[in-house]
Amino acid sequence: MRNLQVGSIEFYQACKEATIKAYEGKVSKDTLDGIVKLIPNPAANGTSVSCAGDVNLTAAFIYGTVECKLPSKNKTFQGEHWGIGLAGFRASGIFYSAYSNWDAVFDNATAYHVQCLGAAAGIVQVNWFNKDGVPVAQFNGIAGGLGVMQVGGKGSWK
């Protein structure tokens, strides 16, 4: 496992790899290219809305919870999920969206998918979707705990 720091070029590359793994074959190539393009690149000026955030995750075989806090926006996402995994950890990282304002994200995100892969250097990725299954936001962070998981469910921002 690589030693990554949020905001480093290595973290950016690992996030790109995790995004491609999560979406490849599930969305069109143009959509995937658009999602990857929005990941904040530390070597370039940002083209997406982004802020720091924290995610707390639990998974006990088939059931678990997710909580994402964006202190600068005074918002918290809470959800329950079903999937395969055994994990419990906190991750700090970057939350971003293709939307030009945060209210659109908070109003439209109704479901999420979480993946944490050791192969992706301990990257935790949470993808949010609207009611039609279109990606609306993403969190990329580094796991501060143990576990491998791939889960999803419904939830809302409060």
DSSP track, 100-136: SSHHHHHHH--EEEEEEEGGGTTEEEEEEE-TTS-EE
- pLDDT band at 37; cut points 50, 70, 90: confident
Q: Which domain holds residue 29?
A: 6-38
Task: Please determine, for residue 137, whether its predicted confidence score (pLDDT) is greater than 80.
Answer: yes
Q: Same domain for 96 and 152?
A: yes
Q: Same domain for 15 and 91?
A: no
Which two three-digit tokens encode residue 95?
């939350």
150 occurs within a structural domain: yes
CATH number reported for the structural domain that contains residue 83 in this entry = 2.40.128.480
Residues 59-81 pLDDT 10s: 666 788 888 888 888 889 988 88
Q: Same domain for 82 and 57?
A: yes
Which two three-digit tokens encode residue 30?
């143009």
107 occurs within a structural domain: yes
Do the beta carbons of residue 2 and residue 13 sit within 8 Å?
no
103 occurs within a structural domain: yes
User: In angstroms, rounded to a whole number, what is the distance separating the alpha carbons of residues 156 and 158?
Assistant: 6
Count of domains observed in the chain: 2
Residue that is written with structure tokens 């409060």 in the block: 158
Q: Same domain for 20 and 65?
A: no
- pLDDT band at 121; cut points 50, 70, 90: low
* Per-residue pLDDT, 109: 92
